[in-house]
Amino acid sequence: MQGQRWWVPWLYLAPALLILFAFLVYPTIHTVILSFMDENGEVLVTEHCKSDVCEWGIFHNYWYAFHNPSMQEAFVNNIRWLVFFTSITVFLGLVLAVLFDRVRYEPIVKSAIFLPMAISFVGAGVIWGAQAGVYKWTNPAKPQVGLLNAILVALVPGFEPKNWLRLQPWNNFALIVVGIWMWTGFAMVILSAAIKNIPKEILEAARVDGANEFQIFFRIIIPSISSTLTVVATTMVINVLKIFDIVYVMTGGRGGTDVIANRMYTEMFINFEDGRGSAIAVILLLLIVPVMIANIRSFREQEATR
């Protein structure tokens, strides 16, 4: 390479850097600044904090985020999502990937499971929602139109149709099921690719040595795909922390189903509380960053072992 000026690489990088700055770095910095400001983003929150005592001083919006009852409810619900959504999608994804690896119609069944991924969250909200979807309640005197109530009425004698999206705390799980339905396919496809990458020789050698299928699963498959499992799990955790669409469309966070990202939207765009909305956004960002780092680390590890 002869005579390349020092700035040439930067020139090539410039468009990407510009876009990155305009759409990522600048909004992030602006959000952090807004989170210390009042509802209009004009003066510091300490000068206009809407309560007699400005708790936590300049961090008053953060104080609000941790003390507001709706936010506390949202934190609890996000933990529910975190535990159940993440574990079930990864578990189901893994089981399906292993089982479908052995059937002849694998591509077809995998496509069917993956299909919900192609549906928008809003579409999923309609498919499952109380207005016309799976969770719809119809007067018990009439045929049930909602799939879930219809199945239960048909199978369980004397079953009274339930209004699933108001039934606390089960309405949260009703929403989590929608998330699982959408994301299991994603987990399955990635894990399935990792399983197919395990060298056939190792599996054959184990079988020759007399290992049964359970031993193969726990001693060979799981350790071989452990870094992929971490990537899938952390991706799901990131998904959960920013879960918004399903809740927004189906319940609007009412009836004890609110989540952090929906609170952020509500404060920002419904209540016009720019400072509080931004503070919640920053909290969400801080929660996601460590998971993101873990995700990238294990992704690199996975690439290295390939």
Which of 40, 72, 120, 197 touches other proteins (CB under 8 A)? 40
Nearer to other proteins, 140 or 290 (CB): 140
In the list 32, 73, 255, 288, the residue contacting other proteins (rule: CB under 8 A) is 255
- Binding mask 106-125 toward other proteins (x if CB under 8 A, else -) reads -------------------x
Distance of alpha carbon 114 from alpha carbon 216, whole angstroms:
26
- Work out how close the CB of 214 gets to other proteins at its nearest, in angstroms, rounded to a whole number: 45
Q: How far is the CB of 115 from other proteins (least distance, A)?
A: 24
Q: Is 272 in the site for other proteins (CB under 8 A)?
A: yes
Rule CB under 8 A: choose which of 192, 251, 278, 298 binds other proteins.
251
Q: CA–CA distance from 90 to each of 72, 87, 230, 292 (Å)?
A: 27, 5, 10, 17
Closest approach of other proteins to the CB of residue 141, in Å: 8
Tell me if 163 contacts other proteins by CB under 8 A. yes
Applying CB under 8 A, among 59, 75, 114, 137 the residue interacting with other proteins is 137
Residue from 30, 219, 254, 300 that binds other proteins (CB under 8 A)? 254
Nearest in space to 283 (alpha carbons), one of 265, 302, 260, 258: 260
Residues 42-61 that bind other proteins (CB under 8 A): 50-51
**Site for other proteins (CB under 8 A): which residue of 271, 289, 296, 305?**
271
Stretch that binds other proteins, among 170-178, 195-203, 207-215, 268-276 (CB under 8 A): 268-276
Of 134, 174, 250, 282, the one binding other proteins (CB under 8 A) is 250
Options 6, 7, 15, 208; binder of other proteins; rule CB under 8 A: 15
Q: Which CB sits closer to other proteins, 27 or 223?
A: 27
- Kindly determine how many residues on this chain lie close enough to bind other proteins according to the rule CB under 8 A: 37
DSSP string for residues in the chain = --S--TTHHHHHHHHHHHHHIIIIIHHHHHHHHHTTB-TTSSSBGGG--SSSS-TTGGGHHHHHHHH-HHHHHHHHHHHHIIIIIHHHHHHHHHHHHHHHTTSTTHHHHHHHHHGGGGS-HHHHHHHHSTTTSTT----TTS---SHHHHHHHHHSTTPPP--GGGSTTHHHHHHHHHHHHHHHHHHHHHHHHHHHHS-HHHHHHHHHTT--HHHHIIIIIHHHTHHHHHHHHHHHHHHHHT--HHHHHHTTTTTTT--HHHHHHIIIIIS--HHHHHHHHHHHHHHHHHHHHHHHHHHHHHHHH-
| Residue choice 270, 289, 293, 296 for contact with other proteins (CB under 8 A) | 270
Distance CA 144, CA 297 (A): 49
Q: Does 257 bind other proteins (CB under 8 A)?
A: no
Q: Please give the residue ranges that form the binding site for other proteins (CB under 8 A).
A: 8, 11, 14-15, 40, 50-51, 69, 125, 129-131, 136-137, 139-141, 161-163, 166, 248-255, 265-266, 268-273
